[in-house]
Chain A
Amino acid sequence: MKRYDLIIIGAGPSGLSAAIEAAKRGMKVIVFDENARPGGQLFKQIHKFFGSKEHKAKIRGFVIGRQLLGEAEKAGVEVRLSATVIGLYPDKEVVVREILEPEEGTAGETSAKEAVFHYKGDAIIVATGASENMVTFDGWTLPGVMGAGAAQTLMNLHGVRPGRKVLMLGSGNVGLVVSFQLLQAGCEVVALVDAAPRIGGYGVHAAKVARTGVPFYLSHTIKKAEGTDHVTGVTIAQVDSRFQFIEGTEKHFDVDTICVAVGLSPMSQLLKMAGCEMDNSGKGGGQIPVVDESGATSVPGIYAVGDVAGIEEASSAMIEGRMAGIRVAEYLGFDDKAGADTAFDQNEKALEGLRQGMFAPGNRGKKIEKTEEGIPVSENLLTHGFVADDEIERYPGVTHKAGVHPVMECTQNIPCNPCQDACPKHCISIGSNITSLPVVLKDSACIDCGMCVSSCPGQAIFLVNEDAGPGKATVTLPYEFLPLPEEGDEGYGLGRDGSRVCDAKVVRVRSSGAFDHTALVTIEVPAEYAMKARFFVKA
């Protein structure tokens, strides 16, 4: 049996972060992960993260993953892959199934030799993450019905589209983000469906899907997946307030893939097995361990961080991991209390920053009527995925000025502020409260550099020139699809709802390293569509 100061189960964002903090303080740390690659779900996250600088905002998830791996290596963390922890015992012993080096002459054999090994740690951090929830409907076992995470894995890790025509069930952030990723991979998303009456995820995530023309069906769910050997179609129908189907509201779509994104459950079985006190109330997304702010469970020396301790975002999981790593080092005498307290408090503050706004853990399931600024939340955004033309003007980021100026269609209080730092002319202000809606400062002049457009993780910022020649306006929009439009391309301007609202011509296309793969496409539209056209399709 091998001994380590600290054994971490799971090499995702929280596990790696904990490992880094502990190893930096001189601990001998090993991280086990059952996957062939480290990083957990981070390498499937190709969107820019929300938050502020300290939360690695506007950096794409997979890039954060690479940074974490580099940091872990530098700190001397040992990461053991394809190593599945199959048991955790109260005396801090873990049993791991590992793959052995193939013996001489057995190369080419499918099943590599496996064996079971025992390890003992002075402390254990469980960072096993979560698994996807499912709902059942007729035909849900047919090939072609899959978790949204499966689609993400196929596209973003393996470069294979899950199908050609996809229906997404679930309007939480996972459903919204994966829908956008499906579009980026070249799939057609025929509809985004949710039984709930309101969209669960960030409005900006919904808006960037809606403006490409994907219809949202709230208060609808899947009645049946059709097909004999695999999915060939799907029927959805409207549900009433008791989630019962309403007769005669059925709609059919021809699809080959149905993605399900209806939430996550913590994978907490190892903690329960180790005898940790569990909370089965359902808060935190399922059965979770009872933990203190450092992730310590009821069993001394066993900690839990990340989604396994309650479903949240990768950004908060990384901070939770660091906090536990710091406290474990103190617990085992690798850091003094003063040093640990300083580092811990700094992280705790960063975590509090992320847990604010309309989507804070305390607001889960609540309907928020007004922003912190007292502005009514767009009802259309919550029910159709886009802010209606007659609602958009009431937000502080939407102003009218002569010349090119930013229009920030950021309408919900979420903890995010990269736009404020992105503008070299300080045109944009969020202020010290990270969840405030961005405002355009009147006395500063936009130089049309596009940094705000590319920095916005919600793709909610546009550069508009309402008077770009007689009867003309230009709109610069973020564009993350291929093929990239070219200067001179003629086509249509799409409204926030994804419908064709006007003719449009591409007058400029910018892509640069500073934009990090968010291209800036400038279209010329009739002047009256300056505040309406928000996407472009080639004729």
Chain B
Amino acid sequence: MSTAKIFKRPDGRKPDEIRAMEAKVGVIPNANGSAMFSFGDTIAIAAVYGPRKMHPQHQQNPEKGTLRCNYSMLSFSVSERIKPGPNRRSTEISKITEWALEPVLMIKKYPNMVVDVHINILQANASTRCAGINAAALALAHAGIPMRDLVSSISIGKLDKQLVVDLNKEEEDWEEGEGSTDIPITMTPNGEITHIQLDGRITSEELKEVIGLAEKMTKEVYEVQKKALKDSIKI
């Protein structure tokens, strides 16, 4: 399995080329912390409110703080309008996002409190959950939440037999050969995996290669996130 340069991606990118990324913090003045993150056309914004008292009371955890993520796509972010309101997909992604972020949060010292992270997708061209997680990680850091590290998320794909990074919609819908396998992965800069999903068709060997590729690629995402946080303060 190779990422040889001969493979032609629909938008002309090389197999290991991520779309142009953009990241900025502080985009929502009311929030405790906020950020936007984009992979090409896919744009996510996130805001953090908290730590604050958890409501409803029965959801309070007396032993540590709770992370609560809410992921939602704006109705006009996709070609066919999404009816406003939660759906099964956004409910699952909200939970996945929580699991992707929790391992690096240090919120033990906030018992009975909640850190609310709201993620909205303004424009979608695949990899929306990854953009959302990247924006959320930035917003959490920006909000001053104690964290061991950032997490960085990217989608790795297999188009027929070819591995590519950062799938767009056209590639998600790839039908030639073995079709498209979509693998969103989130990692810390130290190589710890906090989130991995897969749908498609792949062998274990290929998957190991995917993970190796993800380790390299998430580091590129990390650099963009780091810059956004550093650039936001002028000493």
Q: Do A and B come from one complex?
A: no
